[in-house]
Amino acid sequence: MIASIFEWLTSSATWSGDTGLGARIIEHLWYSLLAVVIAAVIAVPLGLWVGHTGRAKWLVTLANSLRAVPTLGLLFAVALWLSPKFQSDLAFLIPSVVVLVVLVIPPILSGVYAGVEAVDPATRDAARGMGMRGMEVVRQVEIPNAMPLILSGLRSAFLQVIATATVAAYVGLGGLGRYLIDGLKTGDYVSTAGGALVVSVLALIVDGILALVQRRVVSPGLTGGAKGRALRGRTSPAVAVADGKSSAQPGMSAARGGVDPDAA
Q: Is the pLDDT of residue 234 over 50?
A: no
Report whether pLDDT(244) > 80: no
Task: Quickly state the pLDDT bin for 42 (edges 50, 70, 90).
Answer: very high
CA dihedral 105, 109, 110, 114 (to 10 degrees): 170
Given a contact cutoff of 8 angstroms between Cβ atoms, the answer to whether 158 and 205 are in contact is no
pTM equals 0.78
Q: Reply yes or no on whether the pLDDT at 154 is more than 60.
A: yes
d(CA 157, CA 134): 28
Q: Which amino acid is at 147?
A: M
Given a contact cutoff of 8 angstroms between Cβ atoms, the answer to whether 47 and 109 are in contact is yes
Q: What is the mean pLDDT of residues 89-100?
A: 86
**What CA–CA distances, in Å, run from 249 to 184, 190, 246?**
69, 66, 10
pLDDT confidence tier of residue 224, bands split at 50, 70 and 90:
low
The whole-angstrom separation of Cα 66 and Cα 55 is 20
Strands 245-248 and 239-242: antiparallel
Ranges of CATH 1.10.3720.10 domains, the chain: 2-218
- Of residues 123 and 59, which shows the higher confidence score? 59
pLDDT reported for residue 168: 86
**SS3 assignment, position 1:** coil
Whether residue 57 contacts residue 116, with contact meaning beta carbons closer than 8 Å, is answered with no
Q: Find which of 133-137, 251-255, 260-264 is predicted with most confidence, using mean pLDDT.
A: 133-137
Q: Return the higher-pLDDT residue of 260 and 10.
A: 10
> Which span out of 3-12, 171-180, 200-209 was modeled with the highest average pLDDT?
200-209
Amino acid at 95: P
pLDDT of residue 187: 86
pLDDT value of position 221: 65
Look up residue 175 and give its DSSP letter.
Answer: S
Q: What is the pLDDT of residue 85?
A: 81
Q: What is the pLDDT of residue 203?
A: 93
The answer to whether the CB of 5 falls within 8 A of the CB of 197 is yes
Q: Say which CATH superfamily domain 2-218 falls into.
A: MetI-like (1.10.3720.10)
* 142-to-90, 116, 121, 125 alpha-carbon distances in Å: 39, 6, 10, 12
Nearest Cα residue to 250 out of 235, 238, 236, 233: 238
Distance CA 102, CA 65 (A): 11
Average pLDDT of the chain?
Answer: 81
In this predicted structure, the answer to whether residue 259 has a pLDDT above a threshold of 80 is: no
Q: What average pLDDT does this structure show over 72-100?
A: 85
CA 173 to chain centroid, in Å, comes to 24
User: pLDDT tier at 108 (50, 70, 90 boundaries)?
Assistant: very high
